[in-house]
Structures are given as C-alpha cells and as structure tokens.
Chains A and B, each alone.
Chain A
Amino acid sequence: MNIAIFIYYFMSIAYAPLTYIIPNKHNIPKNKLSLSIFSTMVVTAVAVFFISSFNICFTFAGCMIILCFFSINKMTSVVFAFAAFVCKIVMDYIFFTLIRKQFAITEAQLINDAKYTIPFYTALTIIFLIISFLLAKLHFKFLQTALASDKKAILSIGVFVFICLALFLFNIKYEAKKHFPDALVRYNSIIFFVFFSVATIFIIIFLRMLLQIEQLKYRNLQYEQLQDYTRKTEELYNEIRTFKHEYLNKLLTLHFYISDGDISRLKDYYESSVLPTKRQLENDFQAFSDLGNITAPGLKGLVYNKLIRAQESGAQVHIEIKEKTEIPSAEEITELAGIYLDNAIDEVMTVQKQQPKNITVAIFRNANLLTVLVSNTLASPLPPLDKIDSVGFSTRGTGRGMGLYIAENILKRNPHIEHHTYIKNGMFYQELKINHDGKEA
C-alpha cells in the first residue's frame, strides 16, 4: 500500500463532500470544515486498512460526512453526492478497462506493483478532483435556480437518480455474476448510463417548465393586485373630492351660526356634524397611500394584497414609505417580505379580541442604506429568537414553520442582504438592510 492509493481512497470519499463544500464555501464555518476533513481521513484509514474497494462504502461514507457536518440543504447535497457516485463508478470502470487493455497489465499488478500504482492512482485522483469540481460548479448553478427552493422537485429528482443508480449497479453485478461476455456488459452499461442521463435531463427540463408556468401565474396575480390597487386609489381620490365639497358646506354653516351668535346651536352642530368628520379623515385606505412610493410593482402588489386582507380581518395596518424608494434586489426582498408578512398576519390573528392587532411595514433610506421593516403585535411571548428560523419551528402546531427556514435560505444565497430580528415593546420585528448600490455592506 502506498501513498498514492491512500490519496485515491481519500478522494473517493472526499469528492461527495467536495461537491457540497465548494458551492457553499461562504457559509461553512472553519471548524466544521476541518472536522469533516479530519473525519474523512479517519474513514479513509479504516477503509484502507480493511481494503474493500467496493465503491458504495466510500460514497456512503462521503454522504454521511455531509449529513453529519452540514445539516442544511440535505436533499441537494445527497442528490449531488449520488451524482458524483455515478460518475465515479463509470470513470473507475472505463479507466480500469482502458488501462488493462492498452498496457496489458493485470489487476493484481495495478494494486501491488509500485511501478504501476503511483502513476495510475495519481491520474485517477486528478480525474476525480476535476469531476468533483465540475459537479460542484453544477451544484452551485443549481442552487441559484428556482428549482433549488422547491423541495418536491429536488426530492423527485433525488429518488429518480437513486433508482437509476440501483438499477445500473444491479445490472453490472448481475451480468458479472452470470458471466456475460465483457463486451456485452460494457455495452449494456453504456446504454444504461446514456438512457439514465437523458431521462434525468428531461425530468429537470420538465420540472423547469412547470415552474415557469407557476411563475407566469404569479406574475398575473401580481398584475391583478396592482389593478386592484389602482382602482382603490381612484376611489379614494373621489372620496376626497366629495369630502372637500362637504367640508366647505360645513364651514359655511359654522360661519352662519357664529355670525348669528347662536353658541348653543353652534355647539350642537359642531358635535353632531363637524366632529364626526374626523373619522372620515382616518379612512382605512389612507393607510395604503404611502404604497405609491414603492417603485417595484411586485412588492407594491404584495404588500397591498396581504395588508388589505389583514385589515379586513380586523388588524390595524400601518405603512410608512415617505420617499420614492427604489428597491435593490427587488425579487428577493419581495419574497422575504411575503414570508414575514404571512407570519405577521398569522400571528396577529391569534391576538385576543380586545387587544391591539398592529402590523407595520416601513421602508426608508438612510444615506445609501435601505431598510425594509415588518413588525407585528405578539400574541404571546416568543421563545428565544435563535429557535425560530430552524425547520419546523412554528407557533401554530406541527406541519408549519417552513417560512422562516426558506427565508433563511434566501438570505444565505444573498449575503448582501442583512437581516435582524428583535422584539421590542411587545412588537416582533423583521428587519432587512441592504446597501442601495447593491454591493455588500
């Protein structure tokens, strides 16, 4: 046994974690990284000691390392580890056969003769390194697509890849056991591999198409929301015009009472007709007038739509956007605001009847720093803040609690968006800060 083989084994185990580590390198703490490298070494040593070259053990070990140390994004990492595994088996097979055929070396020589071992295994290691880097790049690209946020899509791709893999392995093992001719085994494997790859690509394309349809629906919804908003604005304008007219009439009446010196009737009239207009000034829709200052139509529609429902069900809604504000990274901000607003509305609905139910959305800019803030009244004291963004945390029973986890993933992909959560005076705050030029703060 020499160092080349050890490195080769090490790579066999490490390439699965590598496909995970490279695209996520910004989010992985150093201690986790060194721990995983260390454990890979240990696993390699054990594997080398027992020399069982059966590939699945290595991949299994690699996947376990991912799961143990990087418990976020389990699904995608396992899918990519498996993909790495498929590539490794195929490469292994092709390489072994090629070398043996070309140089007329036996398998025993490859393993035991140092003259062949060193160049052969070094070459293999380099090839695996290249493969894992390519896969990592693919993984990184994948993480940036819409597919990545869809759990079901990832699960179905994962299951499919797993089944393909099982069939592929079974085919090779079975044919070898039944002593099929070498050429036939090779031929079958290649056909299987091509078929599976093509099928996987088609599934991904199909899922993408589905997602695009979803997005189109979402766009339409946004458009409808915007139209709703415009209609309301027009209504409000008309209302104000009527009010102005009434107001002049009332002033005139007041004037006559005063010039007559009829204080008691003046008082009556003031209390019965003038004072109630205060309520008209606090018109419900006025809460939304600041929305006109958002330039991003998606965000405008979203805030409007969510808050008008909240208002209909009895919440006090307050929006403050005092200046015309352009929103950088509007898509991400909209998605995050949607999640925070959903949570705010859900929470406020559980507040007891007589208690205040406030929801505030504020967007403002301080020099180059844009702040987007969503806050709501809390129904009951929250557990410590660091618990709420984990998967499945919910104040509303099991089966919920995906929202903040998704939000956390969006934030991880967008390190330039700064996020703060806090509780103050019985209000729960979600705050996003982003540099206006879009660069990292």
Chain B
Amino acid sequence: MHRWQTHHWQTQQGTVRDLRAIATFLADVGAQCQWNEAALYHLQTAVDEACANVFEHAYEGEPGPLVVEVSSGEREVVVRIRDWSDGFELGPPPIPDRTTPLEERPIGGLGLLFIYKMIDEVEYELDGKRGNCLTLRKRL
C-alpha cells in the first residue's frame, strides 16, 4: 500500500524572491513521489501564483512568514499554504472569452484562473492564529 508522504518548506521573511526556491522544493518532492510531468507543472504553477499573491498582495511586498506543506498519496496531492496576513478575497474568477478584443481584455485575475483550472479542489480558510490556509487538491 502506498503511504502518504508529507514535506514542508517554510520562511519567516518570505518575498517574491523565494518563488524559485518553492518551485525547486515542489520539483524535489515530485521527483521523490514520482508525479507525472503535467501534474508537477500544474502544481508548480498554482503554488507559484498562490504564494506570489500572498507576498505581493496579502503582505503588500513586506517580508512575511509562509509555510508550504505538501502531502502526496498514491492518487492525490494536497498542498496547504499558510500565511499570517489579514487574508484576501478568493473565489473562482470569470472564464475569459476568446472573442473579446485585445483592448477590452482585463489584465488581472489570470493567477486565480490558473489555480482554479489546474487544481481539482481549492479551499481557503481564514484563521489569524493558526494561519490562513489555502488548500489545493490535485488528483494524479
């Protein structure tokens, strides 16, 4: 029977400069747990967008604590990203329309779109004490 494996990455003074290290951490876990290439890329993209959102918007560019916990099972990966900010609005973004001309295309919201399109289940829980928790579940 395949056992769940859990790995952590954390920082007390995180900024966008840590995004590469977080991607490398996921690649290392993915190699160890034998994720397929597409699953790894989707998880790296979603986690990168989520962490960038925390660093840039929730912490407003100031260094802050962040924990990334990855639990990998036989058929599913669960990533929990904790931050200690005041939190942020999270919900499924509108689906973009291919027929909208360039000048009318909104320039924001793409990060959330990637998260919701590449991840099977997304949950966000506000908790000032234990840390706000974004949970991403990806089937393998």
A binds B: no
B: residues with CB less than 8 A from A are none
